[in-house]
Structure formats: C-alpha cells, structure tokens
Amino acid sequence: MGKKQKVVLPPDLPPEVLDDEVEVSDEDLQFIKENRNYASLLSTLDTHSITKHVTRVADAKDDALEKLYEKRMQKNALKKEKEETGLQVDRVDALPIKTLDGKLHYRTASKAVSENDLSEEGTAEDAIADEGMVKLTKAEKRAKLKKMKKEAKKQGKEVAKVEVEETPHAAVLAEVKEDLTAEETFESKKCKLAELGNALLTDPESNIKLLKEMVQLSKDNDHTIVKLGLLSLLAVFKDIVPGYRIRLPTEKELEMKVSKTVRKMRYYESTLLSAYKAYLQRLVALEKKPLFQHVAVRCICSLLDANPHFNFRESLLDATVRNIGSTDEAIRKVCCSTIKSLFTNEGKHGGEVTVEAVRLIADYVKAYNCQLHPDSVDVFLSLSFNEDLLKSGKTEEDQKLKDKKSKKRKHTDASNQLMENDRKKSRQESISKTRKEVEADYKAASFALDVMERKQMQTETLSAVFETYFRILKHTMQSIGARPEANAGALSAAVEPLPLLAPCLKGLAKFSHLIDLDFMGDLMNHLKVLASGSSNSGNTSDKCSKCLSVSERLQCCIVAFKVMRNNLDALNVDLQDFFIHLYNLILEYRPGRDQGEVLAEALKIMLCDDKQHDMQKTAAFIKRLATFSLCVGSADSMAALVTVKHLLQKNVKCRNLLENDIGGGSVSGTIPKYLPHSTDPNLSGALASVLWELNLLSSHYHTAISTLASGISSMSTAHNQVLLSKSSPQLAFKEMSLDQELCFTQQTGSIKLKNKRRTNGPAASLSIGSTTVKSSFDDNELQRKLVSHFMVHHDIKENERLRKELDRTALSLQLYEQYKKQKKQSKPRR
C-alpha cells in the first residue's frame, strides 16, 4: 500500500449578492467610459438567450404567447435532433455544462469517431482527472494502461464480430427488398399491358394513342415483359387491323378542308399505321436474337396469315420465307404451315401473295445454291392451279377477238342507220359512255379479279415453280459430274449433299401435266441419266448409282412415266431404258434403307397400268419379282406378288412359267438358258425358267402371302377369262404395313399382359374390355415353318456348290484329255 495522499479541496465560492443590493456609482460609470477596451465582455453578451427565458411578456395577448411557446418547442426539438446525431459521453466521466435555464448538458462526439478512439480518449481523460485528484505511481500507471489496452482489444473484436454477423443479414434483406420491388414492378407492368389491350379492344378509335405506349412497353429490359408485350400487340393488331390497305393522304389532300369525321379517320389510320410499322421493325430486330426468336417468328407468321392484304406484308413475307429452311424444327414448321395456308386460302389476298412467296422461295433456293431443307421446296405441293384457265387461255382470247369484231360490225351497221337521225345518234353515244363508266367503277369496287389477271398470276407462279425445279435438276447433274469416282480401297472426297432432289421429283410428278412441251426432251434426258444405274451406260451412270439412293432413282422413273402419259399425244419417247432401270433397281432395293411406298408406286405405274408388254420382258419381271419376294419383308413381298398376279392375268403366254417343264418349254425363244444376272430383261431368257419361288412362298409364315402364292400357282392356261384383281401394289403394301403395326401392338400388349399374369398368379384373368388379348399365331407352327423354309434355302445353296465343283472337275478332266492328245502328237516317230 502506498502512502495516503492529501486531498486538495477547491476554494469556497463568494457570497451571493442580490441584484437589488448592487449599487452603481458615478465613478464606476466614469471608469467604464475611460476604459472601454476592458468592457468588451459586456458587448459580447447574448441578450437574446437571456430574454428568451422570460415567462411573461408585457402587453402581449394570449394568442401571441401561445405562438411564442410553439416556436420555442419547435426550436428545442430541432436542437435535440442535432444533439442525437452525436454520441453522448458518460455523465460520470465528464463535467456537465449548466445553461441559464438550469438544464445540464453533457459533451457529445460525432459518429465518425470510432468507439475505440472514444474509449481511449475517455480513459485518458479519466486518467488525467484521476491524476489531478490523486497522484498514481509509475507501476499503477503501467498496470492501468495495460488493462485499458486489453479492454480496447476485446471491444474491437466484439465490434468486428457484430459487423461480420450483421453484414450477411443486411445483404439478404437488401436482396429481398430488391426482389419485392422487382415483383411489384413486374405485376404493375403486366397489369398495365392488360389495361391498355382491353381499352384498345373495347374502343380502338378513341384509345388509338395507347398503341404507342404498348409498343414502348415491349422495349422494356425485362425479357418476360417484352414477350408479353409482343403477344399482346399481336392480339390487338389481329383484331383492329382493317380489311383494306391504308393509303396516307398526300400533301395536297392534307391542305384541303375536310369534315371532322374525315379528320378523325385520318388521325386513326396514320396512328395505327405508324404503330404497326414500329411493331414490325421491333419483331424483325428481335427475330435475329435467339432469346426472342420463337416469339418473334410466331408473331410474324400469325400477322401474315391473318392480314396478308395489309400494309408492309413484304417485310412479313420476307422474314417468313427466310426462316422456312431454318435448322430449328419448331420455327420451320410454323413458317411452312403459314406459307401453305397462304397457298390454299387465296381468297384473302387474291393470289398476289402466292406469286410473291413463290418468287421469294425461288430466289432463296438460287442464293443458297440448292442447299436448303427439303421443306422449303416441299411447300410447292400445296399449290393449286386452275387447269381450265391455263389451257383455255388462247381460246378465250380468240373468243374475245371474235366478240370485238362482231361488235364492230354491229356498231358500223348501227352507225349507218343512225346517220339519218342525229338525235338518236347522240343519245346512243351518251348511253354507251355512261355504261362504260359504270362498268369501270364496278370493276374497281369489286374484289373479284379479272380472268386475264388470274391467268397472268397463275402463269407467273407456275413459271417460278418450274424454274426452281429445273434449277435443282441442273444443280444435281452438275454436282454428279463434278464428283470424283471412288477408287477401290480409297476414300472419296467430301461430296455435296442433294437435299432438294426428292421434293423436286415429287413436284414434277404432280405438275407434270402443266410442263411446257419445249422442255420435255431435256427433262426426259435428265431423268434418264438420273435413273440410270447400269455400268454399261457410261461413267455418268456409275456416279449416279453411287450418289443417288434407290428411292430417288425410282422416283425419276415414276416422273418420266407420268410426264409421258400426260402428254401422250405430243411426245414420242421410248421408255425402254426406264424398264431396264426398274429391272436392275429391284435387286438393289433394301427394305430398311429404301422406301417401299416408292417401289410399290413404280410397280403400279410402270407394270400394272401399262396395257401392252413384250412377252420376254414380262416374263423377266415376273421371275425377278418372285425372287424378290423371298428376300424382303411381308409388305414388300405382298406388293411384288400382287404385281406378278397382274402380269400373269394380262399375259396368258407367260403362264408357262407355272408349268414344271424341263428345258423351259417351247416358248423359251432364241435364248436357251435363263440368265438371272442379266441387266436387260429382254435378254434374260426368263421364259426358260420355272417359278419355283411360289412353292416356297406357299409355306410362308404370313397367311395372306401364302394364300396369294398358292392362288398364283394354281393359275393355268385353261382359265383365260380371269377377272383382274382390284388390289394394286400400293394398296397391298399399305394394308400389309398396317397389319404389321397392328400385330406388333398386339404382341407388345400380350407380352405386358403375360408379365402381369406372372406377378398376379395363374388364377388372374386378363382382358381388355370384353375381348381377351391372344397371340396372332402359334409359336410352334412358326418355328416349324421357318425351319422348313431355311432348310430349303440350305439345300439350294448346297446344290449350287456341288454343281460348281462338278463343273470344275469336268473342266479339269477335259483339259487333261486335251493335254494327253497334245503330248501324243508331239512325240517323234521312230
């Protein structure tokens, strides 16, 4: 313990003297006057603060006093607010200040000063105050300073922890507030769009100004609001767009005085047209952005389909055609359906949009060098042409000329008669003049197009379509000629695909009766080259067979026959080459790779519909189709057998193929042996063979094929008058395909039901509706038929192998005999 220090007490205050007892003498006043510099304290006194505490004011009314007190309370409140901005020091550690009104005020510090600094300053002041009151030793001072530093460190850590804990909470609160405000703004904008759209649909003439506001809302930063704005504007424009094109008034027309109704209508049309133009510009700009592409294309196609007659349809049509070959399937389907709708519903636009769309597609194909999606040309199949209008154009023109000549004659006769009476003549001229004016006005007011205008539009459309098709054929021929031949064991160079050839051939097949005769020769030559697959016809045919599929080459044959039959009177073309191509393509056909519908159509058009066939050619096709039926599926086999039946019923002499005559019979012709690998059906010698394939097909697993094969086998030459079957290869293929799909669904259903039966137990009964699901055929019977079928094939292959060995042995023996003869002849005589 240290020594006790003496406590120094402050001196006593002087005794208080009342103001009434204070007396000021003349000497005091004289002293103050002489020493004014020392009386500056009195001049700096705040008299206002001294007088503001006066509770009573002389000659003041009660209302004025209340106003004074109210002002005083307001000033005090302002002072308190200013004082609250600072930090108040502890009353124990700091000395107060007493004001004149008797209140105590303590010192405050600003908020910019940290709490650590405040604590340090407070402790330092406390230490100074303590030192002023009690003197501390050096050791006590050091201990006190250490203690103060430790407390400061603890307080700093706690403050840091509180700040760390408070910051994530504040950030979360800020994010929640932002989300709430964003949701509120989104809901408000959505409600705004709904209100504007409802107002426009209710009364468009009065609220036409709101269109600009809706267009402005569609330019928002929020993507959802933009999409909603575009769709809302689409609904509004589809409803309020008039059924005519808007023509803005010229400057002279604007200068003219018009009625209030006309002025209102002009304002409405100009505002609608400007908003519509801004909307279309917005759609075209957003159509190039992936985020808004689907919505923009949908709006463009909907506007074009709903209002093809209105202004700015060129920009809508251009954007639709530009996306008709898009890689996005959804966009491509929407654009194709819109173009097809324009082609089928020409009553909305009178055919003008059809001409423009076909011309744009033709330019589009030309610009991209025929490298587009097939749907871009497949839309031409939706076009419809008035054949009577196209064919009877010249006769109508001749009729009009005849009518004009007859009218002239009548007019001359009437004029000769009216020469006698001038009054009648003038009256007749006035009547004819007014009649012409009325006809002209009626024609301008009516929506129906003139016959000549319709014919001109259809002619332009047809020329653009065939221009596109011929360009595709030309590009195909050029690309085939430029392709290098693939050498054995070497990879060919990268070849250019031909995506538009298939839709081009379909279009030529549909519109073949409308092709001009001047192009028939070149078209048939191109089709003959494209359909060629024979190695004997040159290098070009080899390239065609390598780059074109079997279905495309069959389609070329179909187009050639359709063109020939539709223009039978004007053309004299030999179709023998196409029969050769079909004969070779039957062997190249693969069921999983090629289209069976195209093969069935080719068999119907080229073999079944043709009335006259050569006997050798017919027999070759019958034999090849019978062999083809053994190697393909049931649908293709049914189409081939139906064709065989048709050919045998129409060609009675070919029924000798059904007889088991050794050597081929007496009708084998000059060819003594059947050549199955011959490329020409006329040189195959098929009449020297037998249809042994029908015996195998009669044991086919499918009952329809086995029944048909047995019926063909029982056909003989005695039954000459046999009714032709009404079924065609196309119908047979379609029915068999549907039957296969039905059997597949029944099999899958039976498999699922068997699994359920295993899980539910043997006593569970399974049925769908009122019928029980059964298997379409017996598994044991199918297995037995397949075993017998493949055993026959095995025996045939084994016989072929033994025959080859026998021929080889016979040839070697013959060569040995020749060698012995030569050896005997070469020995010298003794």
| pLDDT, tens only, 512-562 | 888 877 778 888 888 888 888 543 444 444 555 557 888 889 999 998 888
What does the alpha-carbon distance between residue 234 and residue 751 come to, in Å, rounded to a whole number?
Answer: 51
| pLDDT at 352 exceeding the cut of 60 | yes
Provide the pLDDT for residue 778.
64
How many domains are contained in the chain? 3
Supply the CATH number for residue 346's domain.
1.25.10
| Type of residue found at 302 | S
Same domain, 788 and 728: no
Would you state the pLDDT for residue 629? 92
Q: Do residue 735 and residue 798 come from a single domain?
A: no
Distance in Å from the first CA to the final CA of the chain: 165
Residue 494, helix vs strand vs coil: coil
- Which position has the higher pLDDT, 827 or 596? 596
- Candidates 77, 54, 78, 75; CA nearest to 65 is 54
pLDDT of residue 58: 55
Q: Give per-residue pLDDT as tens, 458-514.
A: 889 999 999 999 999 988 888 877 665 544 333 344 456 788 888 999 898 888 888
Mean pLDDT of the chain: 75
**pLDDT band, residue 801 (cuts 50/70/90):** confident
Same domain, 729 and 793: no
> Do 243 and 348 sit in the same domain of this protein?
yes
For 189, 616, 644, the CA distances from 575, given in Å and listed in that order, are: 71, 16, 21
Task: Kindly state whether residues 706 and 791 are assigned to the same domain.
Answer: no
Task: Work out the percent of the chain whose per-residue pLDDT is above 90.
Answer: 18
Mean pLDDT of 77-105: 64
Confirm whether 183 is domain-assigned. Answer: no
Residue 615's contacts (CB-CB under 8 Å, 6 or more residues apart) are 651, 653, 654, 667, 687
* Residue 786 domain boundaries: 778-830
Q: What percent of the chain has pLDDT over 70?
A: 65
pLDDT at position 98, please? Answer: 78
Q: Is the pLDDT of residue 138 over 90?
A: no
pLDDT, one tens digit per residue, over 2-45 is 455 555 566 666 676 666 666 777 787 788 777 777 666 666 66
For residues 695 and 821, membership in a common domain is answered with: no
If asked whether residues 731 and 786 sit together in one domain, one would say no
Question: Does residue 292 register a pLDDT over 60?
Answer: yes
Among 153, 142, 150, CA closest to 115: 153
Region of poorest pLDDT, from 414-418, 520-524, 810-814? 414-418
Q: Reduced to 3 states, what is the DSSP secondary structure of residue 767?
A: coil
The residue among 330, 355, 390 that closes a domain is 390
- pLDDT at residue 233 greater than cutoff 70: yes
Same domain, residue pair 678 and 601: yes
Q: Is residue 426 part of a domain?
A: no
Q: Are 597 and 638 in contact (CB under 8 A)?
A: no
pLDDT band at 701; cut points 50, 70, 90: confident
109 - beta bridge partners? 87
Return d(Cα 456, Cα 460) in angstroms, integer.
6
In a shared domain, residues 724 and 822 = no
In a domain, 472, yes or no: no
- Average pLDDT over every residue of 291-302: 93
Cβ contact 526:477 at 8 Å: yes
- 367 in any annotated domain: yes
**798 and 727 in one domain?**
no
Tell me, yes or no, whether 724 and 786 share the same domain: no
Single residue among 336, 369, 390 that ends a domain in this structure: 390
Q: Residue 730: what pLDDT? A: 85
- Kindly state whether residue 89 falls inside one of the protein's structural domains: no
> Confidence band (pLDDT; 50, 70, 90) for 828?
low
User: Over the stretch 584-623, which tens digit does the pLDDT of each residue have?
Assistant: 999 999 888 888 899 999 999 988 887 767 888 899 999 9
pLDDT for 319 beyond 90: yes
Which residue type occupies 412?
T
**pTM exceeds 0.75, yes or no:** no
Higher-pLDDT residue of 730 and 726 is 730
- The span from the CA of 86 to the CA of 110, in Å, is 4
Question: 1 is written with which tokens?
Answer: 């313990």
> pLDDT at position 424, please?
63
Tell me: pLDDT of 92 over 60.
no
pLDDT higher than threshold 70 for residue 108:
no
Which residue has better confidence, 315 or 824? 315
Asked if 377 and 472 count as a contact pair (C-beta separation under 8 A), the reply is yes
Q: Is the pLDDT of residue 806 over 60?
A: yes
Highest mean pLDDT range out of 137-141, 167-171, 241-245? 241-245
Does residue 3 form part of some domain?
no
| CA angle at 469 for the pair 298 and 483, rounded to the nearest 5° | 105
Rounded to a whole number of angstroms, the CA Rg of the chain reads: 53
Give the model confidence (pLDDT) of 336-347 as tens digits: 999 999 998 887
Q: Do β-strands 97-98 and 104-105 pair in parallel, antiparallel, or remain unpaired?
A: antiparallel
In terms of domains, do 732 and 785 share one? no
Q: Residue 76 falls within a domain, yes or no?
A: no
Alpha helices in 693-778 (DSSP H): 693-697, 703-713, 729-760
Q: 3-class DSSP state for residue 546?
A: helix
Q: What is the pLDDT of residues 631-683, one digit of tens each?
A: 888 889 999 999 999 999 888 888 888 887 554 444 445 556 888 888 888 88
Phi/psi of residue 678, each to 5°? -70, 140
Look at residues 390, 420, 455 and tell me which one is the last residue of a structural domain. Answer: 390
Predicted confidence at residue 121, as pLDDT, reads 46
The answer to whether residue 207 is domain-embedded is yes
